[in-house]
């Protein structure tokens, strides 16, 4: 994997540096939540087909769940995460190509080349000021009518859940760079060329699935 280009946003550079360390114990740290996530992955990914871009593939937890009807290009900013994704790419039931790529640039992804974009917990990690740029790239690389599916986590409006999240917030941001107060839904609503078709909470009012398509 090539080093990050000199032109990369400094926030992206810092995030990549964080994950170069976090990658070593990411799956271990994520294990308590993975007991929940692994029940969702088949439903989130099982109906996909055609050219699929997974943005922020991480250690590749999603990859074994794509159906044979998909051709997946999986990108991540961090080389250490991609190294760990290789094993799961080898277990996939469809072709998978791993690429080091920044979701706010996607320099190696052609215009109108993707039928689907999938991102699970990408935007809660991505600083707010970068999210409009990533959505511009989503619109650019999706074919007309191409669809997207974004799973994010946010603060609950229920006091007892929110208090638990607040106790974890500093740890989550320090280790993952993630925050529960990102404005992802607002950014998608405002993104030119993207239309939300459905939003669904997968658990309580914290795990938000945003589904939509490229229009125009």
Mean pLDDT on 36-63 = 97
Domain that holds residue 63: 10-214
Q: Which residues, at least 6 apart from 155, have a Cβ–Cβ distance to it below 8 Å?
A: 162, 165, 180, 181, 206
Under the banding of pLDDT at 50, 70 and 90, the label for residue 168 is very high
**CATH number, domain containing residue 133:** 3.40.50.150
Tell me the sheet residues that pair with 97.
73
CA angle 134, 108, 148 (to 5 degrees): 40
How many structural domains does the chain have? 1
Residue 4 lies in a domain: no
Residue 1 pLDDT class (50, 70, 90 cuts): very low
Q: Which of 13-17, 69-73, 207-211 has the lowest mean pLDDT?
A: 13-17
Q: Is residue 2 part of a domain?
A: no
CA dist., res. 20 & res. 119, Å (int): 20
DSSP, collapsed to helix, strand or coil, labels residue 123 as: coil
Please check the confidence at residue 7 and state whether its pLDDT lies above 80. no
In a domain, 3, yes or no: no
Is residue 63 domain-resident?
yes
pLDDT in tens, 10-30: 888 888 889 999 999 999 999
Q: What are phi and psi of 104, to 5 degrees?
A: -90, 0
């Amino acid at each position: 994997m090539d080093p990050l280009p000199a032109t990369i946003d400094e926030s992206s550079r810092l995030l990549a540096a964080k994950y170069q360390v976090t990658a070593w114990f990411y799956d271990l740290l994520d294990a308590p939540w993975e007991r929940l996530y692994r029940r969702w992955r088949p439903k989130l990914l099982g109906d996909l087909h055609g050219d699929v871009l997974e943005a922020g593939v991480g250690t590749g937890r999603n990859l074994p769940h794509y159906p044979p009807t998909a051709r997946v290009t999986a990108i991540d900013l961090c080389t250490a995460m991609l190294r760990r994704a290789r094993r799961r790419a080898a277990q996939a039931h469809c072709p998978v190509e791993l690429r080091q790529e920044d979701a706010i640039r996607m320099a190696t992804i052609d215009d109108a080349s993707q039928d689907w974009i999938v991102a699970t917990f990408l935007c809660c990690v991505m600083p707010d000021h970068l999210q409009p740029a990533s959505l511009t790239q989503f619109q650019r690389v999706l074919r007309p009518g191409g669809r997207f599916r974004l799973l994010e986590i946010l603060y609950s409006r229920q006091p007892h859940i929110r208090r638990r999240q607040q106790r974890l917030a500093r740890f989550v941001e320090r280790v993952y760079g993630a925050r529960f107060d990102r404005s992802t839904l607002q950014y998608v609503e405002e993104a030119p060329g993207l239309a939300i078709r459905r939003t669904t909470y997968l658990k309580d009012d914290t795990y938000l699935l945003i589904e939509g398509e490229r229009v125009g």
